[in-house]
Structure 1
Amino acid sequence: MMTERLPHFDMSTATPEQKAVLDEILSGPRGNLNGPFLGWIHSPELAQHAQRLGAFCRYQTGLPLRLSELAILVTASRWQAQAEWYIHYPIALQAGVGVADAEAIRHGRRPEFADADDELIYDFANELYETKRVSDATYAQAVGRFGHQVVINLVGLLGYYALVAMTLNVFDMRAVGQQSLPFPE
C-alpha cells in the first residue's frame, strides 16, 4: 500500500523499463509486488538492480531459509520496519523460527535460542547493527560454521534488508492487506 509520499503508480502508464522490472519480479520466485518494489519503481534502474540483489539475498545465500528469515526479522526489528516485519514474520514462522524467539526480537529482547545457528545469526546481525562491526570471536565462529562465502552473503542479506527497511520507512509504505502495526509509531 502506498501513502501520499510517492505519486500513485499506474501500470497502464508504466514505461517500458518499469514494465520490464515488474514483469521480472512477478515471474520470479517472489511472484508479487509486496514490499518496496512499487516505491523503487519510480527509479526503474535502481528497482531492477535492487530486486535482482534481493532475489539473490533471499533465495541463494547458502543459508537455510530459517536463518535467512531470522536475520530479516532482526533487521526489521532494528529498523522498526512495519511492512518488512508484517511480510516476513509468517514466512519466518513457517521456516521454523519459534514464535517466542520472533516476539522477543520484535520487542528488542534477546531470545533464549534452542539452536546454536539461530543464536550465531542473531549475534552476528546484532553486533553489526549495534557496533557497526563484528567481533573477531563472532566472525571466527560464523566463518567456522558457514564459510567465507556464506558470511559474505549474510552481510549482503543484512545490507539489502536494511535498504528495504529504509525504503519502507522513508516512504511510509505498508504491506498489502496490512491492518496492524507490529511496532509503535
Structure 2
Amino acid sequence: MSERLPAFDLSRATPAQRTVLDEILSGPRGNLNGPFLGWIHSPELAQHAQRLGAFCRYRTGLPLRLSELAILVTAARWRAQAEWSIHYPIALEAGVPPALADALRRGETPTFDDPDDALVHAFASELYDTKRVSDATYAKAVTRFGHEAVINLVGLLGYYALVAMTLNVFEMRAQGQDALPFAE
C-alpha cells in the first residue's frame, strides 16, 4: 500500500466504505488494484471516482486498444508506476504494439503503424503539453471518432490523470509490483 496513508482495515470499514468496495469488486474491474485503497479513506470521493473510472475505462465508445493507449500516454506523462504496471499488459493484450508502448515509457515519440493510434497520441500529447488541442487535431478526432467519443476521450485523460496523481502523491504501487517502469 503506502506509508503515507493509514493501513485500511476491512474489519473496521464504515458502511459507506463497504458499499464502495462491494461495488468495485462486483463490477467490471473485480479487484482493488490501483487508487481505490487510497480513495477509500474518502468514501464519497471513492464512489464518484470509481464510477467515473468504470465509464471511462469501459464505455467511452473508443476501441479498448485506443483507450488503453490513452491510459499509457497518461501513465508515462505522470510517470505513474502503478498505473503503468497495471495497464501495460492490458494495453498489449488489447493490441497496442509493444514497441509503441515501450517508446512511451522511455519518453520518446513512438512510430505509429495505425493512424488511430497516432491520432489518440497526438490528441493526448497536445492536451498535456499545451493544455489545449489544436483545431486541426480536434477536427481530425471528431471526424474519425465523433463528438461523443472525443468528449469521452477528454474525460478518460482527465480521470487517469487523477489516478496518476493519487498513485504518485500517496506513493502507491500495483499489487505484486516488484519493478518500477520509471526511474525515481
TM bracket (short chain): over 0.9
Secondary structure at the counterpart of residue 101 of structure 1: helix
Corresponding position: 1:157 with 2:156:
yes
Alignment-derived partner of residue 41 in structure 1: 40
Corresponding position: 1:146 with 2:145:
yes
Shift of 1:55: 0.1
Alignment-derived partner of residue 28 in structure 1: 27
Alignment-derived partner of residue 60 in structure 1: 59
Whole-angstrom distance in 2 between the partners of 1:128 and 1:108: 16
How many residues were matched structurally? 184
Alignment-derived partner of residue 8 in structure 2: 9
Instruction: Flag as ranges the 4+ runs of structure 1 deviating above 2 A.
Output: none
AA aligned opposite 2:79: Q
Percent identity of equivalent pairs: 79
**Taking structure 2 as the reference length, what is the TM-score of the superposition?**
1.00
Whole-angstrom distance in 1 between the partners of 2:69 and 2:127: 15
Shift of 1:3: 1.6
AA aligned opposite 2:110: P
**Taking structure 1 as the reference length, what is the TM-score of the superposition?**
0.99
Instruction: Give 1:132-143 correspondences, 5 Å limit.
Output: 132-143=131-142
Shift of 1:152: 0.2
Shift of 1:42: 0.1
Alignment-derived partner of residue 183 in structure 2: 184
Unaligned runs of 5+ in 2: none
Secondary structure at the counterpart of residue 179 of structure 2: coil
